[in-house]
Chains A and B, each alone.
Chain A
Amino acid sequence: MGNANRYAPWLFLFPALIYFFILVIYPIFGSFWVSFHDWNGTTFQCSDGRSLLELKEDESCRRVPVMTWVGLENYERFFEKTPRDFERVRNYWVGIFTGEPVRWPRLSVESKVLLNNIKWLLLFPAAIPIGLAFALFLNQSPTWVRITKSMFFFPFVLSPAVIAFVFQYFYDPAGPLKEIYNALGWSSGFIGDQNKATYGIIAAGWYPQIAYCMIIYLAGLTAIEPEQIEAARLDGAKGWKLLKRVILPQLWPATFIALVVTMIGALRSFDLVQVMTGGGPGRGSTDVLARYMYHKTIFDQDYGYGAAIAVILFVIMLFFIAIFIQQMIRRDEET
Chain B
Amino acid sequence: MATVSLQGLHKSFGSTEVIKNVNVDVEDREFVALVGPSGCGKSTLLRMIAGLETISSGDISIGNNVVNEVMPSDRKVAMVFQSYALYPHMTVRQNMSFGLEVTGHPKNEIIDKVEKAAHILQLGELLDRKPKQLSGGQRQRVAIGRAIVRDPEVFLFDEPLSNLDAELRVQMRVELALLHKQLNATMIYVTHDQVEAMTLADKIVVLRAGVIEQIGAPMELYNRPANEFVAGFIGSPRMNMIPVKTALDAGWKGSKITGAVKIGVRPEHLVRSKKGLEGTIYHLEHLGGQTLTHIKLPDDTDLTLVEAGEHTYNRGDKITVEPEAKTLHAFDKVGKAIRN
Contact = CB atoms under 8 A, between A and B. Distances in A.
Task: Verify whether A and B have any Cβ pair under 8 Å.
Answer: yes
Interface of A: 1-4
B74 to A, nearest CB: 9
Contacts of A2: 47-48, 51-55
A52 B32 CA distance: 81
Interface string B52-73: 1111000000000000011110
Contacts of A1: 52-53
A1 B48 CA distance: 10
Contacts of A4: 71
Interface in B38-52: 47-48, 51-52
A316 B35 CA distance: 57
A1 B69 CA distance: 13
14 contacts: A1-B52, A1-B53, A2-B47, A2-B48, A2-B51, A2-B52, A2-B53, A2-B54, A2-B55, A3-B54, A3-B69, A3-B70, A3-B71, A3-B72
Which applies to chain A's interface (DSSP): helix, strand, loop or mixed? Answer: loop
Which applies to chain B's interface (DSSP): helix, strand, loop or mixed? Answer: loop
A333 to B, nearest CB: 15
A259 to B, nearest CB: 35
- 8 closest pairs, A vs B, by CB? A2-B54, A2-B53, A3-B71, A3-B51, A2-B52, A2-B51, A3-B72, A1-B52
Nearest to A2: B54
Interface in B183-236: none
Contacts of B70: 3
A147 to B, nearest CB: 31
A4 B50 CA distance: 12
A328 to B, nearest CB: 23
A4 B69 CA distance: 11
Contacts of B47: 2
Contacts of B69: 3
A4 B54 CA distance: 10
A3 B47 CA distance: 11
A4 B73 CA distance: 10
Nearest to A5: B71
A5 to B, nearest CB: 8
B227 to A, nearest CB: 32
A153 B70 CA distance: 55
A140 to B, nearest CB: 31
A315 B71 CA distance: 48
Interface centre among A1, A2, A4 (most CB of B within 10 A): A2
B131 to A, nearest CB: 23
Interface in B9-60: 47-48, 51-55
Nearest to B67: A3
A4 B52 CA distance: 8
Contacts of B48: 2
Contacts of A3: 51, 54, 69-72
A156 to B, nearest CB: 32
B163 to A, nearest CB: 22
A170 to B, nearest CB: 49
Interface centre among A2, A3, A4 (most CB of B within 10 A): A3
A120 B71 CA distance: 57
A3 B55 CA distance: 10
A2 B47 CA distance: 9
A33 to B, nearest CB: 41
Contacts of B55: 2
Contacts of B54: 2-3
B73 to A, nearest CB: 9
A115 to B, nearest CB: 52
A4 B74 CA distance: 12
Given A3-B51, A3-B69, 14 more contacts: A1-B52, A1-B53, A2-B47, A2-B48, A2-B51, A2-B52, A2-B53, A2-B54, A2-B55, A3-B54, A3-B70, A3-B71, A3-B72, A4-B71
A55 to B, nearest CB: 59
A4 B72 CA distance: 8
A137 B197 CA distance: 58
A2 B72 CA distance: 9
A111 to B, nearest CB: 53
A4 B51 CA distance: 9
B293 to A, nearest CB: 39
B42 to A, nearest CB: 17
A83 to B, nearest CB: 53
B67 to A, nearest CB: 10
A3 B52 CA distance: 7
A2 B53 CA distance: 4
Nearest to B55: A2
B307 to A, nearest CB: 43
A82 B231 CA distance: 81
Contacts of B52: 1-2
A285 to B, nearest CB: 58
A222 B51 CA distance: 42
A1 B71 CA distance: 10
Nearest to B72: A3
Nearest to B71: A3
Contacts of B71: 3-4
A4 B48 CA distance: 13
A1 B52 CA distance: 5
A2 B68 CA distance: 10
A2 B52 CA distance: 5
A4 B53 CA distance: 10
A2 B73 CA distance: 12
Interface in B69-85: 69-72
Nearest to B53: A2
A2 B75 CA distance: 14
